[in-house]
Structure formats: C-alpha cells, structure tokens
Amino acid sequence: MSETSNRILLLGLGNDILTDDAVGLNVVREVRQRLGGAPGLDIQETMEMGLTLLDFIVGYRALVLVDSIQTGTASPGHLHEIDAASLKLLPTNTPHFLGIGETLALGRKLGLPMPEEVRVFAIEVGDPFTLGTSLTPALQEAFPNVVERVVAVLEEMLRALPTQL
C-alpha cells in the first residue's frame, strides 16, 4: 500500500509453541471466525517483531494489535488496553512490544502512510517462555472475554469507516 486506505488491520503477535505467548494469535484466530470477511477489515498474524512489523502496518487507516505482555503488575489473563499515546510507556518484558511505538514513529518520520488510529490489546501472562501448545488455565479462563472485547472494538471501528472502501 502506497497511501493510507480506509481499512483496518487486526494483527495478532505471538509464538504458537510458547504456551501463553500464543494468546495474541489465538485471539485473532477466534476473531477471524466471527468477523472474517467483514468489509474494511484485514486479519493477519505473525511471529515477527520490531521494524519488520512495518511490512504489515503501512497503508492502513487503523491498526488493532493483540499480543501477550508481562508487566508483573496484573494477574495473568488481565486485559490491558493501550492507545497510541501510551505505547512509549509499555514495559519491554515482551519481545513483540519492544519498539512498536518506535516502529510507528519511524514509519511516520520516513513519510510512510501509517495508521492514524492504533489500539493495542495486551493480555497479561505469567510465563511467556515455556514450551507448549495450549494456554495456561488463567488465560483459558480470560480468553472468551478478551475475544468479546476485541470483537466489540472492531465492530465499533468498522461502523465508523466511510461506506466506500
């Protein structure tokens, strides 16, 4: 995309073989089951991080990012909702969040068409580094509520899009 479109990107980050680090991917997969094909919405997932995220986010009007986070200030399963202005305040205990705010700023500085609206849904995890393919009980319990919140926000954002995409 060489200019900003009127589309929204839902981007899930994580790693399928690191138990709770996969929560962002799992949430996005569930949202895809519910909203996939909605006009104006693209849904992607990746294990990439840092500047490589530019390849995904350039050209979108809005970005909704879903990932795990380990702040140590909340119980596993807690949903942190972060807006663009707060991105630079994120702790760096997760490799996927390292540099997201800076990545967006760099894209803008380079004159790339960057999302005007950014929402981050970060799910608190206790241990994002243990090998395994299923979420821990705390995240399994929180999962439906996280999905519902992401769906609700996306539906609201989609309603606000111009009718011609």
pLDDT digits (tens, 9 = 90+) for 27-42: 999 999 999 999 999 9
Cα 16 to Cα 23: distance, rounded to the nearest angstrom: 8
**What element of type H or E holds 101?**
helix 100-109
pTM reported for the whole predicted model: 0.89
User: First CA to last CA across the chain, in angstroms?
Assistant: 14
As a residue count, the chain comes to: 165
pLDDT digits (tens, 9 = 90+) for 50-67: 788 999 999 999 999 999
Cβ atoms within 10 Å, residue 66: 26
Topology annotation, domain 8-160: Rossmann fold (3.40.50)
Q: C-alpha angle 11/42/15, rounded to 5°?
A: 25
Phi, psi for 55 (deg, rounded to 5): -60, -30
